[in-house]
Amino acid sequence: MALQVVLASQSPRRKELLERLGFSVKCIPAQIAEERMPDEPPDNYVKRLARSKVLSVVQRIRTTQYEQTPARVSRVTGKLEGESLRWVVGADTVVVCAGEVLEKPKDHLDAYDMLMNLAGRTHEVMTGFCIFDMHKDKEGIQTVRTEVKFKPMTKDEVERYVSVGESMDKSGAYGIQGVGAYLVEGLVGSYTNVVGLPLCQVVQVMEEMGAHEILPF
C-alpha cells in the first residue's frame, strides 16, 4: 500500500483511527516544547501545538533523505499511488473543565485529582488539528469540541480506575476507548475527537485541500 499520510505523533490511538479509514500511516514524532503560554485560550493552544508539530515534522522531512517513491496512477482504482510524504497531519488534545485546562497527568495522584474534579460534571474535550500539503505549502487548521458528561464517582472508584493504568498518557486522565468508557454518561459531538482525532472534520479539510486522490473511499 502506498504511504499516504504522515502523522506528526507517536500516538497509537491517532494512528489507529486513520488506519481504520484505510489510510497507510507513517509516524514521525514532532520535537517541540508542549507548553501553554500564560492565559492562552485552550482552543488557540491546541491549534498552535498541532501546527507546531506539523511544521516540525515537515522541516525534518525536508532536511532528511527519506526515500521517495515515484507517483503513478493505478489502472484499477484510477487513484494516485506511490506518492509518499506529501500529507502531514498533527493534532493536540486537552480537556477543559470549568475553565481549567487538564492535560496528561504528571503521576497517579495528579490523575486521581483530575478524575475527582471531572466526576459527575460535564467537561469539554478540545482537539486542534493541522493538515499540511508539502507539494503546495498549504495548511488547514481547525479546533473541534466535544461535550462529555461523567457519572458521579466515589474516591474508591476513582482509585480503582487509576490502578487500571490507562490514565497516564491521556489528557484528563481517562481513555474513552478503553476501560474509561464506563465513566461516560453521554457526550455531544464527535466521539473520535475524544479519542484524539476528529475524523469527520479531518477528512472534510483534506477534501477541501484537494487530497481526493489519497482518500481510501
Q: Annotated active-site positions, please?
A: 92
Angle at the Cα of 117 from the Cα atoms of 115 and 122, rounded to 5 degrees: 95
Q: Which residues pair with 213 in a beta bridge?
A: none
Cα gap 64→84, rounded to integer Å: 14
Q: How many CB atoms lie within 10 A of CB 209?
A: 16
Alpha helix positions (H), 84-186: 108-118, 155-164
Region of residue 193 (phi > 0: left; psi between -120 and 50: alpha; otherwise: beta): alpha
